[in-house]
Structures are given as C-alpha cells and as structure tokens.
C-alpha cells in the first residue's frame, strides 16, 4: 500500500504509511492541518486544496474540468494545484509528496 507525505502549511512534513483512498480522506483521517474536506469529496468546497510537488505532477495527472473550475476561484491556486478529494491513491503513487495549501 502506498506511502504519502503531506507538507503542512507550517512547512513540517507528515508521512502516512499504507494510505488508502483519496488525498482528502487520508488527510482528514490523520488530522492533517489545513484540509478539512467539508463537502465530503464532491468537489464543492475547496477545503482540500493541495499542490503536487513538481516531480510527481506527471504521474498524478491533470485536474478534471469541474475541479479546474473550482480551483479558478482560489487566489492561491497555480499549475500544480489539485483538489485532494479528486486524487485517488494507487500503487504507482507510492511515495507521493504534496504541499497543503490551507486557508
């Protein structure tokens, strides 16, 4: 099962082993600051905003149209932004590192 590291808004890393699900669920279950996942993952609330570290971008892939729409309203969004609830972990993403944007 994949391992994932969140760089929290204060700069400290938090690594979670054997992670399963999407990047929002995993963060909420493990109490990662800056990800509250208010809408439960339906792409409505943007409280799961992360930036993918450059070396992982290709493997994670691009945001969907709905996701891009929502991200377009976030001042802090850039080309590396994703909504955590829309990124599902798979074995290929073992070792993934993402930055939590926070509010």
Partner 1 sequence: MSDTSCPYDPFKDVRKQKGIHIGHFDGEEIPMILRYHDVRSAAKDWATYSSDTPFRVPIPSEEDVRSYRQLPIETNPPDHTEYRELVEPLFRRPQQQDYIEEIEKMIDRLLESKLRAGIPVEVVSEFALPLQCKALTRLLRVPESEADTWLLWGMHPFLGEDRQEKGADLERYLERKFIEAKQSAPGDDFFSILAHAEFRGRPLTLDEMMGFGNLAFAGGRDTVINMVTAVIGYMAEHPEAITKLRENPKLIPTAAEEFARIISPVSRIGRTCPTGAHVAGHTIKPGQRVALTWASANFDDSVFDAPDEIRLDRKPNPHVAYGFGPHVCLGAPHARTLIRSLLKIISIRLERIDLLTSKQNRLAGPNIDRHGYYDSLEVRFLGLKSLASNGDR
Nearer to ligand FES, 84 or 93 (CB): 84
Interface positions, 76-95, toward ligand FES (CB under 6 A): 83, 85
Q: What angle do CA 22, 64, 100 make, to 5 degrees?
A: 45
Contact indicator for 74, 1 with CB cutoff of 8 Å? no
Binding to ligand FES in span 17-76, by CB under 6 A: 24, 37-39, 41, 43-48
The span from the CA of 101 to the CA of 18, in Å, is 23
Q: Site for ligand FES (CB under 6 A): how many residues?
A: 13
CA 60 from chain center: how many Å? Answer: 10
> CA-CA distance, 15 to 76, in Å (whole number)?
24
94: three-class secondary structure by DSSP:
coil
One symbol per residue from 57 to 86: x for binding partner 1 (CB under 8 A), - otherwise; what is it?
-------x-xx-xx--x------------x
The nearer residue to partner 1, 5 or 36, going by C-beta atoms, is: 36
Binding positions for ligand FES, rule: CB under 6 A: 24, 37-39, 41, 43-48, 83, 85
């Amino acid at each position: 099962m994949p391992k994932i590291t969140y760089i929290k808004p204060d700069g400290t890393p938090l690594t979670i082993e054997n992670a399963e699900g999407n990047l929002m669920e995993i963060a909420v279950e493990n109490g990662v600051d800056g990800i509250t996942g208010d809408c439960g993952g339906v792409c409505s609330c943007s409280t799961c905003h992360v930036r993918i570290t450059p070396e992982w971008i290709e493997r994670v892939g691009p945001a969907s149209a709905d996701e891009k729409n929502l991200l377009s309203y976030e001042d802090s969004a850039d080309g590396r932004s994703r909504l955590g609830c829309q990124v599902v972990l798979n074995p290929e993403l073992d070792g993934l590192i993402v930055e939590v944007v926070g509010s």
